[in-house]
Structure 1
Amino acid sequence: MQKKQTKIAGILLALCCVLALIVFFQTRPDTAAGEKQIAIAVIHGDGSENTFSYDTDAEYLGEVLTEEGLAEGTEGPYGMFITTVDGETADDSKEQWWCITKGGEMVNTGADQTPIQDQDTFELTLKEGY
């Protein structure tokens, strides 16, 4: 009896994983192929702000950040972990990190998985505290 329950639980877990993947792929934002113009505002730790405009064929934000030399980072399990933007490096000892927002709303993806559309506006803000 115990073996049968374990087998059923394993099958149910596998089905849940497959369902979660289907939902993810159906609900993730689309990318746009072709030429796009985007703006990226960088809000530094001292509150100063620089805005950059780019014309790009890239489909994801991470591509633009690295191709244009605006950001640097390390590769992690979720793509690029941004460490430096516009010459300012986050200080781990102060628990600083770069937050990505789009139109003022925090994105739920890393830079390498954040799709871009024509006329998108992103913000990269140096935050303190985890």
Structure 2
Amino acid sequence: MSVLFYGIYHQDVNSAVWFMRSKMNVPSASSLDIKYQLQLLATVKSLGIGVLAALHDLSLAAMYCTKLYVLKDGEIVVSGPPNKILTPELVRTVYEIGCDIRENPDNGYLTITYYPEPGQHI
């Protein structure tokens, strides 16, 4: 699999992940209002090319990505289609927080609701 990011082709995911970690101080879509985040991600998806993006909003990642690589401490924990890998157990393991994940019956998108684990103070 080749991944295009900042005009550089990576032949494997590990080198692409390393490249992304080195660029984490680059401004991201998450600094945009939600309307513009959706427009930007829809535009990128419409290009029909492989794109490596660091998204911290799992709902947006599930909506626009065909494959996710979930990282913890810079290491890939799991990869695959969002609807196959995003589970409450994964979120608890990686992010140390509880959640409910449901498929929206109106549009098929995953809806993720976060909450602290019992006894956890945030």
Return the index of the structure with the highest Cα Rg.
1
| Larger strand share, 1 or 2 | 1
TM-score, normalization: structure 1? 0.24
| Larger helix share, 1 or 2 | 2
Higher relative contact order (CA 8 A, sep 6+): 1
TM-score, normalization: structure 2? 0.25
